[in-house]
């Protein structure tokens, strides 16, 4: 299974996980982002992350469906 890897540069660090999903257009809204995280559909650094407000910093990697976000 191949994943699209997208490089994301944070303008503000740390940034909350759900905001990154929304800003990158992976979900339509913050509410959808929070639901996807709560449902266990999001991986941070290879592990399922269920905290919507998990602080994401440079070097982290987020995976949602077929997309991997490399955070810098």
What would the pLDDT profile of 14-57 be if each residue is shown by its tens digit? Answer: 999 999 999 999 999 999 999 999 999 999 999 999 999 999 99
CATH number at 10 reads: 3.10.290.10
Domain span including residue 38: 4-71
Domain count for the chain:
1
Cα–Cα distance measured from residue 28 to residue 55, given in angstroms and rounded to the nearest whole number: 21
What confidence tier does 1 reach under pLDDT thresholds 50, 70, 90? Answer: low
pTM, two decimals, is 0.91
Angle CA(43)–CA(57)–CA(40) in degrees, nearest 5?
Answer: 20
């Amino acid at each position: 299974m191949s994943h699209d890897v997208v490089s994301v540069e944070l303008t503000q660090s740390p940034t909350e996980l759900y905001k990154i999903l929304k800003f990158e257009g992976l979900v339509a809204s913050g509410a959808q982002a929070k639901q996807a995280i709560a449902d266990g559909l999001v991986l941070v650094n290879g592990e399922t992350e269920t905290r919507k407000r998990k602080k994401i910093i440079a070097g982290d990697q987020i995976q949602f469906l077929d997309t991997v976000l490399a955070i810098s």
